[in-house]
Amino acid sequence: MELLGHEGAVNSLSQVTENELVSGSWDATAKIWDLETGKVKQTLTGHTHAVSVLAIQGGTVITGSQDKMIRIWHNGKMEKEIKAHDDIVRGFSSVPQMHGFASCSNDEVVKLWSLDGTNLLEYRGHSGFVFAIDTLESGEIVTGGDDCTVRVWDQGECK
C-alpha cells in the first residue's frame, strides 16, 4: 500500500492503532491515515515547519516542529499549544510509566511532559543537538545526539 497526501518529505511516523498511522512532514502538517483504505482521515495543521509526531492510545497525537512548539491533539482537535523548546523539536517518545511523553530538541534538552502539557522534568547533559529518543521497558529514557553519545536517563539524571 502506498499512502499519498503529503506535499513534502515525510520525516516522522507513529502508529496509533492497528488500523491508524500518523505521519509528520516537511510540509508543516501531520496526517492521520486509515490503513485499511489508505486514505487520509484528518490533516493536523498549524505548525510553520517540518513536523514530528507521536501517537498515544486514546486518540491523543503529539506534534512538534522547527517552530519550537508542541501541540497536543485529542481526536483531531488541538487541545493545547506549548512553547516547548528554545530550538527545533526533533522527536518524541511515549513514557507510559509517567502517563506522559518526552521530547528532544536541538536546544540540547530533553523534557518530560504530562499528557496535559505540564513540564515535569528537564534532562540536561548533551552538548549537541538531541536527534533520537526512546523509552526503555524499565521506564528509563534513552537519547542520542550530535555529541556522539547515547545517554540513559532515570528521573532526570544521566546514569
Name the residue type at position 58.
Answer: G
Task: Give 86-117 pLDDT, tens digit per residue.
Answer: 999 999 999 988 889 999 999 999 999 999 99
Q: Which pTM was predicted?
A: 0.91
Q: What is the DSSP letter of 115?
A: T
pLDDT of residue 47: 95
pLDDT higher than threshold 90 for residue 58: no
Task: Give 6-52 pLDDT, tens digit per residue.
Answer: 888 999 999 978 899 999 999 999 999 999 999 999 999 999 999 99
pLDDT of residue 130: 93
What's the CATH class of domain 1-83?
mainly beta
Fold agreement between 1-83 and 94-159: yes
Average pLDDT over residues 145-159: 89
Domain boundaries, the chain: 1-83, 94-159
131 to 2, 70, 110: CA distances (angstroms):
27, 16, 10
**Burial class of residue 85 (count of CB atoms within 10 Å of its CB; 0-12, 13-18, 19+):** buried
Distance of alpha carbon 101 from alpha carbon 54, whole angstroms: 9
List alpha helices for 23-121, DSSP H: none
Residue 95: strand, helix, or coil: strand
What's the CATH class of domain 94-159?
mainly beta
Cβ neighbours for 137, distance < 8 A, ≥ 6 positions apart: none
